[in-house]
Structure 1
Amino acid sequence: MSLGSQIAWDDTVLPFQLDRSDVRGRVARLDGVLDQVLEQHDYPPVIEALVAEAALLTALIGQTIKLRWKLSLQIRGDGPARLIATDYYGPTADGKPARIRAYASYDKDRLSLSDPGFDQIGKGYFAILIDQGEGMVPYQGITPIAGGSLSACAETYFAQSEQLPTRFELSFGRSQLPGQPEHWRAGGVMLQVMPEASPLMANEGGTGEEGLLKPSDILSGDAEENWTRANTLLDTVEEMELVGPTVHPTDLLVRLFHEEEPRVFDAQAVGFGCTCSEDRVRESLSIYSAKDIGHMTTEEGRVTADCQFCGAHYDLDPKTVGFEAEESAGDKG
């Protein structure tokens, strides 16, 4: 297999459907985009792993939604891993890549480098936010932190908030090909019951952790049998099939689900992208008075801001920001 054919599937999300099961899904491979997300920061390994898992989930979930603009994941807890935040921006035009960015906030004094990252989130919530752009009402769905991983939290979210049984099988970590430097790589499969096959259920509570819904609380009859069968097949997937650069996603789908009549659609490329800009910084400061801006001004007489996602640094003249700005916003510092 040539290097070109191996790279062709890196940083892509491939949608598919299992016609026999009424189940849809996605196969994702993140390579260079994950390195770009993580190289913006100097995270300890346990935090890197959480960000990698969240970015992979974001790629899989974002591609299932017909976005005009942005989908965000937020994981907040009271433990030392305080916040994991990701954004997925839908393609701006046909043939263009979707864009992902991510960052984490953590308490380095409380963080344990030997314990699993998920255990250090503590009590909190897992949220998905969808912003379809100007003139549209943003959507937000929240479920408590539950299960033993971020993917388990996402499964709980879809069962609880959307009543859509959903399964994630993910693998991520540092890898190295012969003659190449070590870098981050991630891959995963998402399965989800087709929306029309999932009946709306009254909020009576479920059989999951703390009364949360599970797929068995939502499905019955043929739909439950189909879902169980698809999950049993996914249970046979191997780690190298998820992340291995020489395993094509189409070959993986045939190996796992050939009896379920898999059908694939156009793959979506994914890249790193940040939407921060000087104009956005100025807009965020436009609500402040000159007095407020004065409190934000450094000893050097500048107003500065750093993007948490990409690390971009903005250095502005305080006279040009706020709703009492004396000069036009043309200063570049």
Structure 2
Amino acid sequence: MSDFDNLHRFLFTQANVRGELVRLNDSLKNIVHSYEYPVQIQQLLCEMAAATSLLTATLKFEGEIGLQVQSKGPVSYAVVNATHNQTLRGVARWDESLTTLPENFSELLTDAVLVITITPDEGERYQGVVALDKPSLAECIEGYFQQSEQLATKVQLMTDLQDAESAKAAGVLLQVLPAQASATDVSSANDFEHITKLTETLKQEEMFSLSVEEILYRLYHQEEVEMFPPKTVSFACTCSKERSAEALRHVEKAELNSIIEEEGAVKMNCQYCHVEYRFDSIDVEAIHNGNYGGSATNQ
């Protein structure tokens, strides 16, 4: 599926509207199958991954964006992070005592919020929070843009989980260009509504079976559309032994040595990629003396 795991950006040159389309397959495997997730959580993570990829393309700087769900429902926590280089990682936590989970989005995530965190490599972190009080994740993200940036935004998210070993997700984002976002700009508002209506006619089977060029032609063949080179989307984890060592620097040395005495090493596991990092007493001494260089070897 060479046409998958790519983010495509395009521009309606006569309408002051920009668009993005992403389809994921291989990049989802280490997210969806990192745990034995129920299908409802697989679908949630697939939608979050597609949405996060779309939102990452809105960044005007190098850094990371994260979508995090916090809920008092069956799914307590879910997060997907992506970098400006379109690398994704994600994880979810749910009430594993439940034998079945609700199919409905609102019942799966009750009394929930969506936290969108933007972390530039240089500069201050920004965080926005929106209630998950609409029937779908896509509608909640639309509400976030309307609430925080007053930008007319349309989001469509789709998943295909028919093949248990090969989850697929896709998303489309349309947005009025910021310079044309004023409510007084009637022409831009009408153009955006027209393009949105065209996009809503896209069927799931078309999204996952046609090429991107065929999809855009099918939807917008009467519009002037400029396409940009696609960006590859992949799974990648940002964990490292050095980052784990930095976390241990804030733990008392005596406590770490006690763990080493009992278990032979301090072990830290990445919740995203499951790599295990081990630290012995020599490592602990170096960490607390500020001399830890960190081996690149994962143990």
* CA-atom RMSD in angstroms: 2.3
Paired residue secondary structure (1:284): helix
Residue 66 of structure 2 corresponds to 72
Q: How many equivalent pairs are there?
A: 296
Q: Residue in 2 aligned with 1:183?
A: 166
Q: Distance in 1 between matches of 2:10 and 2:274?
A: 36
Residues 142 and 161 of structure 1 are in contact (CA less than 8 Å); yes or no, is this contact kept in structure 2? no
Q: Report deviation, 1:289.
A: 2.2
Alpha-carbon deviations, 1:186-216, whole Å to 9, x = none?
A: 12211111111113xxxxxxxxxxxxxxxxx
Is the CA contact 1:83–1:104 (under 8 Å) kept in the aligned structure 2? Answer: yes
* 1:243-262 pair list within 5 angstroms: 243-244=208-209, 247-262=210-225
* Match in the other structure for 2:126: 139
Determine if the alignment matches structure 1 residue 271 to structure 2 residue 254: no
- 2:175 corresponds in structure 1 to 192
| Selected match of 2:139 from 146, 152, 171 | 152
Q: Is the 1:254–1:262 contact (alpha carbons within 8 Å) kept by the matching residues of 2? A: no
Aligned to 1:165: 152
1:56 equivalent in structure 2 = 50
Give how far 1:272 is off. Answer: 0.6
Structure 1: tracts of 5 or more residues without a match: 1-6, 92-97, 200-217
| SS at 2:30 equivalent | helix
| Aligned counterparts of 1:56 and 1:222: Cα–Cα separation in 2 | 30
Q: Percent identity?
A: 28
Query: Cα distance 1:299–1:121, how it changes in 2: closer, same or farther (>3 A)?
Result: farther
Structure 2 counterpart SS, 1:42: coil
1:139-180 CA-partner distances (Å, limit 9, x unpaired): 11111112111111111111111111111112102245xxxx
Whether contact under 8 Å (2:27, 2:234) holds in the other structure is yes
Quote the residue 1:112 is aligned against.
Answer: 100
Match of 1:317 among 268, 280, 292: 280
Residue 213 of structure 1 corresponds to none
Distance 1:330-1:279 versus aligned 2 partners, 3 A rule: closer
Kindly tell me: are residues 294 and 33 of structure 1, through their superposed partners in 2, closer, same or farther at Cα, counting changes over 3 Å? same
2:201 equivalent in structure 1: 236
Q: Cα–Cα, structure 1 residues 42 and 26, in superposed 2: closer, same or farther, change >3 Å?
A: same
Whether the 8 Å CA contact 2:155–2:174 is kept in 1: the answer is: yes
Distance change >3 Å, CA 232–CA 32, structure 1 → 2: same
Match 1:84 to one of 65, 78, 96: 78
Task: Show CA shifts across 1:68-98 (max 9, x none).
Answer: 121111111111201111111122xxxxxx2
Give the TM-score taking structure 2 as reference length: 0.90
Distance change in 2, residues 1:330/1:90 (3 Å): closer
Secondary structure of the residue aligned to 1:127 is strand
Find out whether 1:130 has 2:118 as its counterpart.
yes
Verify the 8 A CA contact 1:143 1:161 in the aligned structure 2: no
Report the Cα distance in structure 2 between the residues aligned to 1:328 and 1:139, rounded to whole angstroms: 31
C-alpha spacing 1:295/1:81, structure 2 compared with 1 (3 Å): farther
1:302 to 248, 256, 265: 265
Distance 1:163 1:87 in 2: 24
Q: 1:115-150: CA deviations, max 9, x gaps?
A: 3355221112112111111x4111111111121111
Give 3-state SS (helix, strand or coil) of 1:112's partner.
coil
Q: Is the 8 A contact 2:20 2:173 kept in 1?
A: yes
Does the Cα contact within 8 Å between 1:118 and 1:150 map onto a contact in 2?
no
